[in-house]
Every structure is written in structure tokens, then in C-alpha cells.
Amino acid sequence: MTFPSELIPFFTPQGVAVIGASANPEKLGYGVIQNLLRSGYPGPIYPVNPKKDEVLGLKAYPDILSVPDPVDLAVIIIPAPAVPQAVQACGQRGVRAVAILSGGFAETGEAGQALQDAVLATAREFGIRLVGPNGVGVLNPHSGLNTTFIEEIPEPGSVAFLSQSGALGGALIDWARGQGLGLSYFASLGNAADLTETDFIRALHHDPHTHVIALYVESIHHGPEFMATVREVAGHTPVLALKAGVTEAGARAVASHTASLGGSDEAYGAAFRQAGAVRVQSVQELFETAMALAYRQPPKGPGVAVLTNAGGPAAVAEDALARQGLQAPEPSEATRQALRQALGEYPQLMNPIDMLGAASAPEYEAAARVLLQSDEYDAVLAILVPNTANDPEAVAAALARAAAQSDKPVYACYMGDVSVRAGRQRLHQHRIPTFDFPENAAMALANALRWHRIHESPPAAAPQPDLSAYEPLRQAIQDLARSGHRYLTEAALYPLLEQAGFPLPAWVAAYTQRAAQAFASNFPGLFAVKVLSPDILHKSDIKGVMLNVPADQVGKAYWEVQARVRRRAPKAGLQGALIQQMAPPGTEVIVGMRRDPVFGPVILFGGGGMYVEAWRDVAFGIAPLTEQDIRTMLQETVVGRLLLRGARGHGPGDVTALMALMQKVAALALAVPELAEFELNPVVVHPAGQGVTVVDARAVLAT
């Protein structure tokens, strides 16, 4: 496999120039040259410094134009104002790959952003690809490339790490080195003015050394492209994602339930899930999951055997496994008998398998072999608490021997510190994932299983819905926006939704009592009477809705609902009432949309009605949605699971009709970018085969 040609210099350059190289050990430009020498980079290294003849024994050059061939990667570490000129010089020299380590760009404000824009414009003029600015460079242990100023680098390995934080990247590289976890590649993306995490994920998919890709991101660039790339990669190479900044810096005023429930973190969660990335919640989880997947095949199912020499940690492990959706089934009589033959009668032969404090290395090995051979278990978690009767290093070797005879993973939890350090190092040498605490092991096991399921059933490519049917609706909404409309209530939306095929009950916008009464007299059943006002988006909040009104009471309700609102919102403009035939019984849900600046339309589904925000039984997806995306959203909510399976004498809901409605909302959101927010709440889902009914709708237009 080969890298994209434009990225080859960032992996295996023929020669590296360091613009800003320094002979002063206190300068970062010194550290970059030193690291290139230490890492054993085989190509020529060219320090560029107009004031020095040599740096660290290497001939120095006054500028990049003076550097001889071969050179195809330039590292820039000079004050920010001088960077545009340096990039231009690289272009004139024919260097087409540049890593900018300098800070002082977009991260500092408007002036820095303007400077970064100038650098990018120059790079594009010359066809240069950039990493950074405001990063710490790139590192490839397999080729000896180290353009960073990180002091030490890990051994070559199979985990690639992409980080938008250079400082965090440096800390984690040091941690990986201490743990014995090898890296295949590291890139500090910094501000990602040009090359982004997506470009490197695509490139690493072609790297024979990379078996796991770990991401630390603060924001994703070009959300749909990111999702499409991860979809292509994740079924073959695990992509682990840690998203920082999951809390909102401040609450903005929102105009619909969908917006208040669907912040940017929900969009990221939906995007990672749909694309096939395994999302993690901490730095430790990121690297421990990467270690688990790099060292061993993932478990193929949820059954875990816990092997221990201490009861308390085993109980903690069982709780942690259960919280992660894993199982610790009891051994069958055949497995229990095999354990008796291997261990004797004294251990506790249920699950956990407690071999008591004095458990020896041969006992760990014998028990692990039995459990790995059992069809009841997909993985073994071996816990060791150190004492004077055991040898952590010998136990590590024993577990490795047992694991070598099976394609099922063995995870180890060595609790403690000083007494087990050597044992942990031995486990790393044998590529047995090792953890300090049972909770960490359970989390890594669960994440590895999640990726196995992605591997077995990779996410389908995003569908390409036909949006032509929504063009008339888009034109109508554009006209409303041009006429000054910011919000669209039912009276404005219903005609458009009917035209697009949304399932609505019979309705009329009544501006006189006579019109309200006349409409009710033509239809059977009961009616909803809702105040009509351009100033009121949530009518129920101020008693602006009356339900189950008989036909002969609709005229009275017409005035009553307006009187209620006038008392609570005296300044609101009242236009009349919307009269709507009550929908048949069913389950109330919400289907909505909020437009995210990174990923586009975010579709919301959950329990609907007036308590939607209180219950927060919601799930999110990024449009366009596959059928599996929608089913996953249903499975993630209580109301969705009830509709899929039924409960307490109620059969399943019409999930087919609901899914069609959700697809329609997603297509509408893609077809009409002028919609900033869109909400159907409630939607009544009737029993299977009886369809769905949209009972209420509202929209917010983009400004």
C-alpha cells in the first residue's frame, strides 16, 4: 500500500530542512534538529539559520533557497510574522510539504487569523500542503522521522495518534513510551489550516504499520467529508475518537425544543456513531482502548470470564462489566469440571473464578486455558493483587502462554504499583493488554467489542435522497424568508408540508368564530383548538391549546383559547385559532432538525409531547440517514424500543411509517438549507399498519 503522493513527505521525506534551527539548547529549533538526529532519520538534515555556519555539527544554510537536493519537507519554527515569507520561499524552492510549528495564528484572534489566511493563500499558490500552524510537528518511528521538539519518542508500533493539541500529544507520547506501547505515527495538527484529521485518516488507511487510529479533536473540519472517510476506514482499521469541549461555554437562546436538546456534542456523538468511530470519554480510555486493539484480536461477543486471586476486585470487575453491557456468565458443568481437574476443589469455581490469594502462575495458566477453550466465554480478564505468595512476572508469562493458544483475548488487571511494575512490563512485552483497575479493563473490553461489531457490519454509505420533490417547498420558504418571516407556525407550514406529503389531520386556520364552527361541522370526532399568533412558538406553555373539544363547542373554544393567551401574554398579536381534527390514539414522539455548522442537519427523535425537554428521551442522527441509522436512534430511546417491541398489552407501533417520516424530515433538511430548525411535536405513532399523524409543527428560518 502507498500513501497519497502529496503526503509522502510527511511520512518518509527524502530530506528535511528546518527553518529556524538554533544552536541554543534553550530554543525549540535546537530540539527539532536534535530529535531528527536522535531518531536515526536516514536522510539529509538541513538547518536553516542565516546567523550560523553549523548547528549540532550540521552545515547550516542562510535560507531555504540555498538548501541542496534532496529536500521535500520543510519544518518552520520562526516568529509568526515571518512565516508567510518563509512559505513563499519554500514554494520558490520547490518544497511542497511544510510543517509549521510556530504559534501566533488563528488561535490568538482576528489578527492571527488574517496571518494564517495569508500563509494558506501562499501555500495554495505554490501547491504546498501544510501541517499546522501552532503544532509540534510529525513523527514516524518506523522511518526515523521526528520533526517535533518532544524529548523522547516511543518505539515503533501499530497505533497512530492524531492530535489537535500539541502539548497533550507530547504528554501522551511520553505515557505510551513509559507503558511500552509503540506508535506507528504521530501528527500534531494544530490549527489545521490545510491538512486535517480527515486527510491523515485517509493516508493512514494505506499505512501497513498502522492497525489503530486514535484521535484527539477539539473540532472537526469538513464534517461530511470526515464521516465519509471514517466510513471507508473504520471497518478495517479501528478509529477511536476523543472529543474535547463537550460542554457549552454558554447557553444561547433557542427557539425550539430541538435546538435546546441538540447541542454540538450530540452532533459529534451521532457523527462518530454513524461513521463507525468508537467514541471514548477520556485520555486514558483512548490509549487503553488503542492498546487493547493493537495487542489482541477483539472479543467476538460479550461473555467474559473473570479469573482472580482476590474477591473484592473481582466483584468490582463484575459490576464494571455489567455497566458496559458485557456479561459474566456462570461456567457450565463441563467447564467447571475441567477447572476442578486443573485447580482442585478449593477455588470458587463460579464466575469469577477465585483461586484465592496464593494462586500460582501455573494455576493462572491452567485456568486461563480452560476458560479460553470454553464456548461460554469470548474473553478472559485476569486480576492479580500482589502478595508474598505470587510472582507477577511469572503470572504474566503464564497468561501469555495460555493466550498464544487461542484467538480470544486475555486482558490483565494488575492492581497496585511498585510490586507489579515489572509484571506489567512483562505483560506489555507479551502484548497482553494490562490495566491498573478493573473498571478500565471493562471499558477497553467493551470498546473493543464495539469495534468488532463495526468490523463485522461496517456502516453503509450515506444514501443520496432525491430532493427534487422539495424544490417548490424551498421556493416557498425562500419567499417567506424574503418577506421577513423568522418563525413559521402551523398556519404557514401546514400547506407546505401537505404539498410535500407529510401526514396531517384535517385542519383550518380560522380567523373568525364562524369559520371555526363551519369547519368542525364538516368532520366527525373531537378537535384541537390552538391559538394563532406570530409571536407565540410554544402554545402549550401559555395555555394556548385546548384538546378533545366536541364539534358544538369549537366556537366557544375559539374565543376561550385566545382569552387565556391574552391574560398570559398581553402583548402577543392574536389572529384567531387553528382548528384541527384530533388524531387517533397512539404514542407521541418528536421528530426534529437543527442545522449544525460542522455536520449539517442533525435529526432528533424521542419521546414527544409537552414533557419532551423534561424527559430528554432523545437520540440524534446526521442527515442523510440510512435505515440502520434510524433503527439505532429508535433503539437508543425508551419510546423507540417500545414502538419496536410493544409492551404491557400494547403491540408495536407503525415503525415503517415512522421511519419514512424521519427520512422525509432528513430529506427536507437537506433540500431546504434556509431551515435552521424544524420540529414535528408531537407526532402520533399509531399501531402497526395504521401510520403516523403529524399533530404540530414549527420552523425557524436561517437569518
Element holding 224 (H helix, E strand): helix 223-234
User: What number does CATH give the domain 297-456?
Assistant: 3.40.50.261
pLDDT score of 247:
59
CB within 8 Å of 365: residues ≥ 6 apart: 398, 399, 401, 402
Domain ranges of the chain: 5-244, 297-456, 506-582, 587-701
pLDDT score of 250:
30
Q: What are phi and psi of 132, to 5 degrees?
A: 100, -155
pLDDT in tens, 517-572: 999 999 999 999 999 998 887 888 889 999 999 999 999 999 999 999 999 999 89
Thinking of the domain 587-701, which architecture would CATH place it in? 2-Layer Sandwich (3.30)
Buried-exposed string 437-446: b where 16+ CB fall within 10 A, e elsewhere:
bbbbbbbbbb
pLDDT score of 253:
32
CB within 8 Å of 563: residues ≥ 6 apart: none
Fold of the domain built from segment(s) 506-582: Dna Ligase; domain 1 (3.30.1490)
CB within 8 Å of 456: residues ≥ 6 apart: none
Give CA–CA dist 615/498, Å, rounded: 30
pTM of the model: 0.93
pLDDT score of 152:
75
pLDDT block averages, 10 residues each, the chain of length 703 = 83 97 95 94 97 96 97 97 98 98 94 97 98 94 92 87 87 82 93 96 94 94 95 97 71 38 80 98 94 96 97 96 97 95 85 93 97 97 95 97 97 96 94 96 98 96 91 92 87 93 96 97 95 86 93 97 93 93 95 95 91 82 96 96 85 96 97 95 96 95 87
Topology alike, domains 5-244 and 297-456: yes
Thinking of the domain 5-244, which architecture would CATH place it in? 3-Layer(aba) Sandwich (3.40)
Element holding 508 (H helix, E strand): strand 507-510
- In single-letter form, the type of residue at position 154 comes to P
β-strands 576-581, 527-532: how paired?
Answer: antiparallel
Give CA–CA dist 184/435, Å, rounded: 22
